């Protein structure tokens, strides 16, 4: 990139040079010996050919052969050293027409310096125009402006043609102020501008919505006895559309027609796009019909925005029909049209059709843009088809596309959505190494990913890493962290983060306050939550309905229902309407505290207020009725709920099943399980726990050993009872008897639950039974077993499952490596620790995450500082990248052990 803008003179060359363009001698010096010889050979041979008066060099076969080896540095040097300026210029033009070659800025500088020194201003003007047109980005354009300004002071004045070219190019890069300066220079130096000059400047201003300034330029048109044309008026229409002032845009359109200027396709397209932007799609379609009736053929750009707008409002069929109509008129869709359709169809649930369109576009030879890829990757990630999204991502990279930050952020979000935070962190490593640079959105997504998996320490460390990398956290960063720490009961840490946010000059918003208020309420610290609500109001931040709902939830759980009711009245006074969550929270609080009758009064009241109960409302009432021994009434309520189109979930069914188990009606509870499965609602371990409790009670009744005590699914007793393998088999047999044949999911759910409770013996027996039935445990089940075995230090069994997973190509998460390494360490099997760690490093991981998870949260918590440092050295020897901030964190944790 050209950065240094100040020119300098080299007396030995006698021409103007710029320090930002490396001298050819400097370029030459930077080459290694072999490259220097090759460079010198090419320069020597081409110079010889160009200098031979007996040879027509343009038709030289030798030069033609050498031309494929020419690079800009060769051309710049040749232009600089050749004795004949005219020959140098002809060679400059000749080589630019080679299909494999493109001049860079050093070539233009060499050619212009030479022409200006020789005062050959006419060809210099032409080369200058080519230089302006060759600018590839804003930075290069800015550099060229400064360079050309210096040349103009050396005698190369601008022609109108070169000024107009400059204006057009400045408009391309939205350099409005630079364009205004160039325009003022035209107007002040006595040059007579053309209509193109005025139109270009008007268009530049109107693209930014600066219509008043554009109108001033239009007055200059009239002052020079010129007349605005269709481009002038269309630009003004565009300016008004950018300002969302469609009335003004149509006034310009009417004036244009009155002045006898016929609108063209661009005019109509601008108005149609303006209408679509304001969601006036039907009017836009009307204008499309009008232009066709007037014999003006719509272009692909005319159709694209209406197609996109129809998709955006759920009218995909009309969008497809419009594309069909478009093709019938001989107008083929372009990449933007396909992108609009792909986006619309994906969002409306037709992802497979959208993917088909993508492949169709490729077959037609249309190259997707980065926007097309981002749309498709986003929809695939949203549908949790992250593997497919990555295949498209890798295809992009293989075909020379450079993914942008949006692409990477979408993929990171998709990975976090499916719980694969490790791979998301690997993508962060790639971004930090080769780009694009991570943004606050990148870090926020990753922080949220850690929080969702309960890895609070890593989320906090990522905040430190983010700050250390120069990315400033925003309100959403802290909102995620505060909420995440609150959900895990870490209120002190959440409060500290809230205070840190204020300390860094960020004003807590409604989301930040609500996150902490919700956390305090859920932890039973309702008075603290009320105090924070008061502070929130005093700071000028208005609470939302979610804020009030959080406190109502806390008050209801503490049976402080009068206070909750007063808060509901306050909601109404503040102009907010209680929503379904407000009512359902109150209902749930009453049901949990023996107030089901009053809960039903609120239930009927919310319906009278046109607030439709949701699944949570009905589940709370069903729970309350079952708690009071009214399971039959609860089942009637379930049927009512289903009639209203609400599908019960596992919580609803489990409450009802528990209600009938508590009444000693196990058979009916099992029939509800059958209904549950038939309706596609998978039972969870808690559901099976309730049924196992019922089977235990049944056995106790038969044997007459123990009196039956009333319990509910939400009491911890059911889950803590000893579950024998025989009882599990009885449950599976009873399920078969009622036509609810246990499947792989049934076994996996039970094994996962048993593993979490550390009941590895029962889990082992069930795995064996499962295999006998022809089912295989999932990777999640195997990982759960590994963790359970590690807790019980059954390392041979843990390593056997681990090795089996590796052979199957499964990549265990870092948490599994942590469990194995720490357990092996406790068993003093240190050689295996080192082998396992080195094998782990052979796979793709984020270096910081390895240190955080394995070394800090693993070995240092086991107080194995010596082994921790040994493995750190292994990482460093394997060139595993670790950030400075992680070294700081590691040093801090080590110092705690030393203390």
Q: What is the DSSP secondary-structure string of 593-626?
A: TT-HHHHHHHHHHHHHTT----HHHHHHHHHHHH
Strand partners of residue 8 = 17
For the chain, the 3-state helix, strand and coil shares in percent, each to the nearest 5, are: 70, 0, 25
What are the contacts of 455-458 at 24+ separation with CB within 8 A? 455/421, 455/853, 456/484, 456/485, 456/488, 456/490, 456/493, 457/852, 457/856, 457/857, 458/849, 458/852, 458/853, 458/857
> Nearest to residue 338, comparing CAs of 377, 298, 299, 311?
311
SS3 for 793? coil
Please classify residue 380 by burial: count the beta carbons closer than 10 Å to its beta carbon, then call 0-12 exposed, 13-18 middle and 19+ buried. buried
Torsion of CA 401, 405, 409, 410, to 10 degrees: -40
How far apart are alpha carbons 785 and 187 in whole angstroms?
Answer: 80
Q: What is the pLDDT of residues 417-429, one digit of tens each?
A: 999 999 999 999 9
Residue pLDDT, tens place only, 559-601:
888 888 888 888 877 778 888 988 898 898 888 888 899 889 9
Which SS3 state, helix, strand or coil, does residue 193 take? coil
Retrieve residue 279's tokens.
């969601």
φ, ψ (nearest 5 deg) of residue 684: -110, -175
Nearest to 275 by CA among 245, 301, 255: 245
- How many CB atoms sit inside 10 A of residue 296's CB? 18
pLDDT given at position 899? 59
- pLDDT score, position 32: 55
Beta partners for residue 18, in sequence order? 7
**CB-based contacts of 304: which residues, under 8 Å, 6+ apart?**
333, 334, 336, 337, 340
* Nearest alpha-carbon partner for 452 in 423, 484, 474: 484
- Residue 730, Cα to own-chain centre: how many angstroms? 48
Measured on CA atoms in the order 432, 435, 437, 439, is the torsion positive or negative? negative
**Local structure of 777: helix, strand or coil:** coil
Q: Is this model's pTM higher than 0.95 or not?
A: no
Q: What gap in Å lies between CA 107 and CA 117, rounded to an integer?
A: 16
Contact 557, 524 (CB under 8 A): yes
How far is it, in rounded angstroms, from Cα 194 to Cα 199?
9
Residue 395 CB neighbour total at 10 angstroms: 13
Q: Identify the segments of the chain with pLDDT beneath 50.
A: 1-25, 28, 31, 705-721
CA dist 475 and 473 (Å) reads: 7
| Nearest-angstrom CA–CA distance, 122 and 385 | 60
User: Under a CB-based contact definition with an 8 Å cutoff, are residues 689 and 718 in contact?
Assistant: yes
Q: What is the three-class DSSP state of 89?
A: helix
Q: Residue 15's pLDDT is what?
A: 41
- The per-residue pLDDT for 653 is 95
What's the pLDDT at 129?
Answer: 95
**What does the block give as tokens for 748?**
């996996």
Residue with structure tokens 């090419």?
42
Whole-number pLDDT of residue 724: 86
Cis status, amide bond into 436, omega within 30 of 0: yes
Relative to beta strand 15-18, strand 7-10 is: antiparallel
pLDDT of residue 13: 31
**Contact yes or no for 571/548 (Cβ under 8 A):** yes
Take residue 195 and report the two structure tokens written for it.
């209509």
Structure tokens at 113: 């310096």
Say how far apart CA 601 and CA 669 lie, in whole Å: 28
Could you give the CA distance from residue 894 to residue 871 in angstroms, rounded to a whole number?
14
Helices (H), 773-864: 779-791, 795-807, 814-826, 830-841, 847-850
SS3 label, residue 539: coil
């Amino acid at each position: 990139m050209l950065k240094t803008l100040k020119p300098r003179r080299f007396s030995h060359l006698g021409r103007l040079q710029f320090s930002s363009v490396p001298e050819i001698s400097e370029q030459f010096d930077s080459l290694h010996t072999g490259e220097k010889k090759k460079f010198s050979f090419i320069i020597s041979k081409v110079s010889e050919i160009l200098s031979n008066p007996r040879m027509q060099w343009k038709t030289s076969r030798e030069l033609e052969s050498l031309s494929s080896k020419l690079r800009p540095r060769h051309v710049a040097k040749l232009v600089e050293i050749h004795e004949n300026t005219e020959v140098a210029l002809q060679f400059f033009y000749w080589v630019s027409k080679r299909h494999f070659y493109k001049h860079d800025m050093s070539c233009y500088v060499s050619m212009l310096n030479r022409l200006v020194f020789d005062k050959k201003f006419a060809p210099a003007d032409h080369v200058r125009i080519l230089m302006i047109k060759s600018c590839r980005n804003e930075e290069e354009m800015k550099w060229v402006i400064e360079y050309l300004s210096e040349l103009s002071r050396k005698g190369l004045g601008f022609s109108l043609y070169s000024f107009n070219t400059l204006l057009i190019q400045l408009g391309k890069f939205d350099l409005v102020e630079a364009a205004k300066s160039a325009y003022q220079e035209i107007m002040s130096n006595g040059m007579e501008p053309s209509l193109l000059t005025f139109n270009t400047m008007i268009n530049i201003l109107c693209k930014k919505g600066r219509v008043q300034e554009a109108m001033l330029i239009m007055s200059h048109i009239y002052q020079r006895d010129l007349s605005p044309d269709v481009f002038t008026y269309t630009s003004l229409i565009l300016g008004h559309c950018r300002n969302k002032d469609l009335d003004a845009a149509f006034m310009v359109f009417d004036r244009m027609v009155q002045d006898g200027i016929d609108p063209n396709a661009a005019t109509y397209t601008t108005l149609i796009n303006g209408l679509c932007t304001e969601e006036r799609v039907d009017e836009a379609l009307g204008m499309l019909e009008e232009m066709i009736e007037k014999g003006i053929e719509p272009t692909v750009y005319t159709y694209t925005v209406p197609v996109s707008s129809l998709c955006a409002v759920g009218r995909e069929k009309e969008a497809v029909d419009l594309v069909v109509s478009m093709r019938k008129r001989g107008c083929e869709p372009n990449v933007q049209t396909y992108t609009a359709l792909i986006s619309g169809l994906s969002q409306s649930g037709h992802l497979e059709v959208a993917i088909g369109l993508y492949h169709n576009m490729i077959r037609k030879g249309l190259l997707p843009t980065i926007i097309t890829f981002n749309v498709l990757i986003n929809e695939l990630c949203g549908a949790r088809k992250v593997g497919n999204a990555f295949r498209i991502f890798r295809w992009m990279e293989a075909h020379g596309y450079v993914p942008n930050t949006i692409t990477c952020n979408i993929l990171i979000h998709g990975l976090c959505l499916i719980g694969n935070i490790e791979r998301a962190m690997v993508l962060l490593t790639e971004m930090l190494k080769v780009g694009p640079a991570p943004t606050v959105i990148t870090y926020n997504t990753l922080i949220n990913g850690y929080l969702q998996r309960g890895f609070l320490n890593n989320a906090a460390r990522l905040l430190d890493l983010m700050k250390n990398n120069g990315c400033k956290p925003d309100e959403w960063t802290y909102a995620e962290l505060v909420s995440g720490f609150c959900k895990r009961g870490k209120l002190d840490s959440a409060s500290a983060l809230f205070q840190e946010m204020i300390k860094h000059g960020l004003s807590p918003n409604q989301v930040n306050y609500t996150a902490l208020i919700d956390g305090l309420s859920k932890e039973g610290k309702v008075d603290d939550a009320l105090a924070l609500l008061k502070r929130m109001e005093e700071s000028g931040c208005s609470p939302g309905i979610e804020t009030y709902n959080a406190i109502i939830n806390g008050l209801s759980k503490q049976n402080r229902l009068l206070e909750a009711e007063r808060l509901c009245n306050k909601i109404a006074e503040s102009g907010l309407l209680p929503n379904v969550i407000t009512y359902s929270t109150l209902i749930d609080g009453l049901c949990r505290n023996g107030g089901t009758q009053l809960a039903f009064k609120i239930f009927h009241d919310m319906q009278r207020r046109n607030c439709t109960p949701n699944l949570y409302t009905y589940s709370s009432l069903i729970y309350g009725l079952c708690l009071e021994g009214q399971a039959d009434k609860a089942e009637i309520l379930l049927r009512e709920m289903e009639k209203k189109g609400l599908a019960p979930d596992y919580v609803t069914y489990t409450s009802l099943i528990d209600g009938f188990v508590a009444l000693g009606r196990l058979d009916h509870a099992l029939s509800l399980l059958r209904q549950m499965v038939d309706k596609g609602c998978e039972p969870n371990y808690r559901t099976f726990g309730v049924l196992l409790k019922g089977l235990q009670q049944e056995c106790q009744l038969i044997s007459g050993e123990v009196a039956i005590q009333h319990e509910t699914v939400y009491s911890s007793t059911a889950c803590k009872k000893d579950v024998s393998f025989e009882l599990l088999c009885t449950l599976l047999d009873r399920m078969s008897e009622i036509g609810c044949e246990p499947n792989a999911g049934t076994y996996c759910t039970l094994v996962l639950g048993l593993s979490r409770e550390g009941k590895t013996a029962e889990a082992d027996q069930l795995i064996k039974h499962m295999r006998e039935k022809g089912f295989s445990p999932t990777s999640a089940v195997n990982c759960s077993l590994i963790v359970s075995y590690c807790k019980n230090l059954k390392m041979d069994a843990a390593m056997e499952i681990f090795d089996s997973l590796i052979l199957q190509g499964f990549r265990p998460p870092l948490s599994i490596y942590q469990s194995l390494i720490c357990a092996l360490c406790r068993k003093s099997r240190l050689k295996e620790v080192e082998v396992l760690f080195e094998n782990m490093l052979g796979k793709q991981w984020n270096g910081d995450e390895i240190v955080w998870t394995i070394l800090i949260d693993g070995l240092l918590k086991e107080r194995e500082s010596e082994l921790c440092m040994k493995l750190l050295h292994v990482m460093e020897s394997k060139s595993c990248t670790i950030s400075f901030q992680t070294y700081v964190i590691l040093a801090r944790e080590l110092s705690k052990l030393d203390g």
